[in-house]
Structure 1
Amino acid sequence: MEFHGTEVRQKALGLIRGGARNAEVARTLNVPAGTVSYWLHMERARHRKLPGKHSPLCPRCDGRDLDESAYAYLLGLYLGDGHIIQYSAHRVPNLMIACSDDWPGLMDACEAAMRRVLPDNSVCRVRRSGCHNVKVYSRHLWCLFPQHGRGKKHERPILLEPWQQKIVDEHPWELVRGLLHADGCRITNWTVRLVGGERKRYEYPRYFFANKSQDIVRIYVEALEKVGVEWKTTHRRSGVYNVSVARRASVALMDAHIGPKH
């Protein structure tokens, strides 16, 4: 077995730092490609990044620009139906949003928001029965979503940080859209009315949002009030808070900015 000294290893890492591929480095230095890969693996273990490469910047830690509109939408999805997972201390955590296959447009919107909020990070879709888990990987997810914690969201306080509240105040419709896409729907209700002595069926559209967390419901209705939407809420025995928007003017406003899932 031929052993390669530190000088050869540093040359290899220097070439990679300059943008060369593993195979090119192996041919140039007459080193097995597997050895080059091993050196890279060891470098990652030491620095948690590739030599010469910069880890993706964080809007909170590094002051990178944040697409606030996309963030408000992604925050709504996270609060409604998302969670952050880290399988082990050595794995990069991921934010996962479960999206039903019945609404491919919602899935596309979720992935697009992740790419806009974290443009330098890995985004993927994982197929499950009847749905896809849309994921984005980043070591800074805790910075962007400080509401993460142990246990279910409705069993612990969910409060927005001042910087998050500022974004929500500036982009309330995007937050509402994210929450509705995660835990809401637009349906057609019907009732029977007496018109001219005849019983006639009357149909009307309605928006519903349901969640067990009183804090998340509060965040939702405060955003509705900011955009002038009237709402009513009921509390079921199951512990779910149901927020309804049924007044014609408010439904028209919701239709203009949200619309049904697709």
Structure 2
Amino acid sequence: MYDGETRALALAAVVAGESLNSISKRLGVSRATLRDWRDRPGAANLPTDCPRCSNGHLPHGPYAHLLGLYLGDGCLSNLKKAVYSLRIACDDSYPRLIDEAAEAIAAVHPTRPVHRVQAAGYTSVVSYWKHWPCLFPQHGAGPKHLRRIELADWQVDIVAMCPELFLRGLFNADGCRVANWTTQMVGGVLKRYEYPRYMFSNESADIMGLCQWALDLLAVPWRMPRRNALSVARQAGVARLDEFIGPKS
């Protein structure tokens, strides 16, 4: 498959009168593809085009979900010929979440297969594309908690539109819904009470800040029992998160 920039260069060369054979040799595009582009000039937007540097479409909901997964358990790796692999590491204990990660990737980049690579105790959901760094400018050398993590303005806009899906990705990657308990004296008798709460853990203060911001957008109260752990325990907050996150299994 070819990106939008290559297509544009080829069509410009056709208009300028360059032969298909010459364009094919120069750009590495087959003559059959060049003839198709020449004869169907109205098909300008390819599904493989990058949403950031070309004419591709970026579905906001799936991207917000995938961004949360990437910040939690994802990474990009530079391979040969400027191709990058996007990998989301998913615990094998939660096959539904593995399916969700694969669905999110497929929705963002629908024209290429999504692979599942088995490892010890987890499955890497993998996709290959030259333009993954365009969609995840947070990519860089070293662990995320040792470098600055900031959202670009266009990412901020998407998360502000879809905070629920962004939080679903974060909590599915680095969070959980657990049963907490406390004791209270009632009529002279010590009674134990259980209640659900959500926990989110991440060593990156920047990613933690993004989680706090998204919760604030939804007016979900939270607190920090530790510097790297966030808790949502109030009944109304838990009920709100139950609407779009819920237990992992």
Indicate conservation of the 8 Å contact 2:47/2:110, yes or no: no
Q: Which residue of 1 aligns with 2:33?
A: 52
Q: Does 1:109 align with 2:96?
A: no
User: Does the C-alpha gap of structure 1 residues 49 and 242 become closer, same or farther in structure 2, counting only changes over 3 Å?
Assistant: farther
Partner of 2:60: 68
The one-letter code of the counterpart of 2:223 is K
SS at match of 1:99: strand
Structure 2: gaps (5+ residues): 1-23, 35-45
SS in 1 for 2:141: coil
The answer to whether the 8 Å contact 2:47/2:56 transfers is no
Return the letter of the residue paired with 2:116. Answer: R
Describe how 1:113-128 pairs up with structure 2 within 5 A: 113-128=104-119
Kindly state the Cα deviation for residue 144 of structure 1 after the two structures are TM-superposed.
0.2
**Secondary structure of 1:146's partner?**
coil
2:77 touches 2:84 (CA, 8 Å); kept in 1?
yes
Q: Which of 234, 238, 246 is the matching residue for 1:259?
A: 246
- The offset of 1:44, in angstroms, is 10
Distance 1:67 1:124 in 2: 21
Checking the alignment, whether the CA contact within 8 Å between 1:114 and 1:123 is kept in structure 2 is yes
Between the two proteins, the alignment pairs up a number of residues equal to: 215
What residue is the counterpart of 1:26 in the other structure? none
Normalised by the size of structure 2, how large is the TM-score? 0.81
Q: TM-score, normalised by structure 1?
A: 0.77
Unaligned runs of 5+ in 1: 1-42
In the TM superposition, 1:194-233 aligns within 5 A as: 194-233=185-224
* 1:169 positional shift: 0.3
Per-residue displacement from partner, 1:167-215 (whole Å, max 9, x unpaired)? 0000000000000000000000112211111111100001000001111
User: 2:72 is matched by which residue type in structure 1?
Assistant: G
The match for 2:237 is: 250
1:48 Cα offset (Å):
7.7
Counterpart of 1:174 in structure 2 is 165
In 2, distance between residues paired with 1:44 and 1:138?
Answer: 23
The SS at the match of 1:257 is coil
How has the CA–CA distance of structure 1 residues 44 and 119 changed in structure 2, closer, same or farther, with 3 Å as cutoff?
farther
RMSD between superposed Cα atoms in Å: 2.1
Does the residue aligned with 2:56 lie in a helix, a strand or coil?
coil
Point out the structure with max Rg over C-alpha. Answer: 1
Cα separation, partners in 2 of 1:251 and 1:149, compared to 1, 3 Å = same
* Deviations, residues 216-252 of structure 1 (Å, cap 9, x unaligned): 011110000101100001335xxxx100000011011
**Matches of residues 157-196 of structure 1 in structure 2 within 5 Å?**
157-196=148-187
Q: Deviations over 1:133-158 (max 9, x none)?
A: 00111100010000000111111110
Q: Which residue of 1 aligns with 2:76?
A: 84
CA displacement 1:63-119 (0-9 Å, x = unmatched): 2211110000000000011000124x3362110001111101100100000000001
Give 1:50 shift: 9.4
